[in-house]
A and B are shown apart, each in its own frame.
Chain A
Amino acid sequence: MSAEATPPKDAPLLCIRDLQIEFSRHNAEPVKAVKGISLELKRGESIALVGESGSGKSATALSFARLLPEPPAKITARQMTLNGHEILEMNERELRAIRGKEIAYIFQEPTTSLNPVLTIRTQIAEALALHRPDVSKAGRDDEIVKWLDKVGIVDSRKRLHAYAHELSGGMQQRVMIAMALCTQPKLLIADEPTTALDVTIQKQIMDLLAQLRRDLDMSIILITHNLGIIRSVVDRVAVMFRGEIVETGPVEEVLRNPQHPYTKALLACVPRMGPKQPRLKAIDYTVLDA
């Protein structure tokens, strides 16, 4: 990996061609979770992967850093490059070097990602020690405070010695975002980052992601089943259904003028404020199957 030349600036950050993911099963045919999707993401560009549960969006995102356990997962693709590195040809050591450094993840449940018996400082310092050799040991606390401030944690220096249980769900997710961003990754994958949070906090976290994206000029892949929250954060949207991308395009265009029946059905499920709103519709799968 290190031997490879630095990719040109106009080269795409992420390039996926014909990605297929299947999970082997005991005494049964393997399950095809992702059926040949292609995706390209430029530097600084952001995209939302939208779809219902089980549509393969999380499996797709996890495969970008080969986080799916192999086996039972089997990932194949004609091309799968991140910042010029062919991901499918990397060994575990090379993968570890890009995880957190070039591609960072935020998961939906921060309580299951933070170690309950270590302080926030220890956990963020670990990420810095692993991926930011330019930050000296003495300067780590200042760097952590800087990132905690950036994600909107008040009294950040005091929070350094806090444990996860001493923070609210929203604060914990902010800490996770700080931990993901302090290593200055080129790509941030937010896998349903607001699902476990209440509605007011959801808005705060999405606004924070939008602002950080502008400030840091990084790429974001936002995974969600909620089309209503993506507008402020991403440039493009890819709608996934049963392991395939059924529609993709600029976010405004897809939201205003959906082409695929599934995208239309998904949009019809988004609740809207205001008088005389039509009843929310459930997705009619018989129409989609036909």
Chain B
Amino acid sequence: MSLQPFSSPPRWLPLRLLLGGMIAAGLVLLFGRHAPAVPSADIWARCGSSLIVLTIALLLALCIGVFVGLRARQMGPRMERFIALLGRALACVPVVVLVWGFISGWIGRLGWPVESLMPAQFPDGQDSRQVLLAHALWNFLAPALVLALALCGEMIHAVIMNGRAVMDLDFSLRARGVPKASRLWLHHLSQLRPLLRVRLQSLCLIAPVYLIIIEDALHFMGWGGWMAQNLRVADASGIALGFASVGAMLALLCACLRPLPGRLKSADAFVATLAWQPWLLWALGLLALLPSSFIAWIILWMAVLLSGSAGWHQAWNRIEAELPVDAARVCGVTDSMIWRTHIAFVLFRMLAAWLCTVLAHTLLGMAVACALLPRLIDALNAPLAQIYRPLAIASAQSAMQTLADPTALLQSGACIALAALCLIQVSRIVQPRLS
């Protein structure tokens, strides 16, 4: 799922994430009138496993994004634009389609094992360190790969689009005789580093939601698999514990990213704090606890709205500050006329862009929600329900059917991805630019 417009993170992001998780957990317990669950040792072990998967996946996504993005830069602007679009298209593919596509491809076609799905049985005495290491590696590799695939699309897009925003030193570096590789991997990448760090932090916020679907499908013994069970049975105390633990995990990941060099100016504290929280996960928790009705989808829409609020706020502030209205003002045009002739037009375009983006993200959020909570599909109208139903693979029977014939799943995924991509592209076209 691609992200909302880019916004700088607030200061002390790890602390804010930790507190956000605890507040969300507290609110769930308060409204559900449940006592907090005592975390068992098993939960901590699961969190540790998921943290490893998250770390590997984020690093893989970063490496793939940087490699593909920079190679695309070498291929010229047309190819670069095309690859950026492909990256965005990949980011729009529902993660449930990716994970089941992976299972059918990895196991079905290639015949390779996934340790969490088909644990290897070794004869006695075959438990050497190497065997255990290979066993663990094979266990972690599958979820990490799928998660990296889901995240790398956005990373490729970020590397290419942010690459256009940084200073182009190519000409002066050529004049100094600096080789192509150094121009790209040292000078260009060094400028991208702070932007990519923030992108990575923002990917951390949606990665846990993907992890739930991936771990659930791959039967991986991690936080995600456990959270999927809690969501299905609507266990308020489990969900609350999940919120708190994911807050801690995200805080730890974002804190680990902090020492990377390069800083961006922090965003406005309140709006950025609000936006830089795992809203989609929280919305899923609430949807699990509420009865299924069409109103429930408004929660998801609100979550999408809030997670993009800082980006839109920052974009509008920048446009408002840079809007060239001084010429009109010195001609004696009144403020109301300036608003009508200059600001309202820009605002209208921005509103249209914002609506398209929110709609696209709601479509993608619905795909996540339907995959985890199939009962929500009943609240959708018939055509939408028909599109989203193949994504709900909750039972062994539906899993078998999907593996036997993944056409319906792929068609549904392609349909949602195409709709979201079109909406995002329309938003990009409509979005006003001053440069």
Tell me the count of chain B residues lying within 8 A, CB to CB, of chain A.
19
CA gap between A180 and B186 in the complex, in Å: 19
| A100–B169 touching, CB < 8 Å | no
- With known contacts A112-B169, A117-B262, A100–B191 Cβ distance under 8 A: no
A195 → chain B closest CB, angstroms: 15
Determine the distance from Cα of A40 to Cα of B261 in the docked complex, in whole angstroms.
Answer: 48
Q: How close is A172's CB to chain B, nearest CB, in angstroms?
A: 12
User: Whole-angstrom distance from the CB of A169 to the nearest CB of chain B?
Assistant: 16
Which residues in chain A, 101-138, are within 8 Å of chain B measured between CB atoms? 101, 104-105, 107, 112-113, 115-118, 126-127, 130-131
Q: Residues 51-77 of chain A: 1 if any B CB is under 8 Å from the residue's CB, otherwise 0?
A: 000000000000001010000000000
Q: Known: A115-B187, A115-B190, A116-B167. Is A126-B178 also a contact (CB below 8 A)? A: yes
What 1/0 mask marks residues of chain B from 252 to 271 whose CB sits below 8 Å from any chain A CB? 00000000011000000000
A-B contacts counted at CB < 8 A amount to 56
B382 at the interface (CB under 8 A from A): no
Residue numbers in A under 8 Å from B187 (CB-CB): 115, 118
- How many chain A residues touch B (Cβ–Cβ < 8 Å)? 23
Shortest CB-to-CB span from B187 to chain A, Å, is: 5
Q: A115-B191, A116-B167 are in contact. Are A99 and B172 (CB under 8 A)?
A: no
Give the chain A neighbours of B179 by CB distance below 8 A: 96, 130
| B71, CB-defined interface residue at 8 Å | no
Is B34 on the interface with A (CB-CB < 8 A)?
Answer: no
Q: Are B191 and A113 in contact (CB under 8 A)?
A: no
A113 x B178 contact (CB < 8 A): no
A179 at the interface (CB under 8 A from B): yes
- A97 contacts chain B at the CB level, 8 A cutoff: yes
A229 CB-CB contact with B under 8 Å = no
Cα–Cα distance between A65 and B182 once the two chains are bound (Å)? 19
Are B175's CB and A105's CB within 8 A?
yes
Q: Does A98 belong to the interface (CB within 8 Å)?
A: yes
Q: Which residues of B contact A101 (CB under 8 A)?
A: 177
- The B165-221 residues at the A interface (CB cut-off 8 A) are 167, 169, 171-172, 174-179, 182, 186-187, 190-191, 193-194
Q: Which secondary structure dominates where chain A touches chain B?
A: mixed
Q: How far is the CA of A67 from the CA of B177 in the complex (A)?
A: 10
- Point out the residues of chain B lying under 8 angstroms from A115, CB to CB: 167, 169, 187, 190-191
Candidate in B169, B172, B178 with the most chain A CB atoms within 10 angstroms: B172
CA distance A126 to B171 in the complex (A): 16
Judge whether B174 and A117 touch: CB under 8 Å: no
Q: What is the chain B residue whose CB lies nearest that of A100?
A: B177
Select which of A96, A97, A112, A127 is within 8 A of B167 by beta carbon.
A112
* Distance between Cα atoms of A67 and B171 in the complex (Å): 8
Contacts A107-B172, A112-B169; A99 near B190 (Cβ below 8 A): no
- Determine whether the beta carbon of A100 is less than 8 Å from that of B176: yes
A67 touches B191 (CB 8 A): no
Give which listed residue, B167, B175, B186, contacts A99 with CB less than 8 A. B175
Task: Establish whether residues B167 and A67, one from each chain, have CB atoms under 8 Å apart when the complex forms.
Answer: no
Contact assessment for B169 and A130 in the assembled complex, using a CB-CB cutoff below 8 Å: no
Interchain CB contact under 8 A, B177 and A113: no
Q: List 20 A-B contacts (CB under 8 A).
A: A67-B175, A96-B177, A99-B176, A99-B177, A100-B176, A100-B177, A100-B178, A101-B177, A104-B176, A105-B175, A107-B172, A107-B175, A112-B169, A112-B172, A113-B169, A115-B187, A117-B191, A117-B262, A130-B176, A179-B176
Measured CB to CB, the residues of B under 8 A from A are: 167, 169, 171-172, 174-179, 182, 186-187, 190-191, 193-194, 261-262
Known: A112-B172, A117-B191, A179-B176. 4 other contacts (CB 8 A): A65-B175, A101-B177, A126-B178, A130-B176
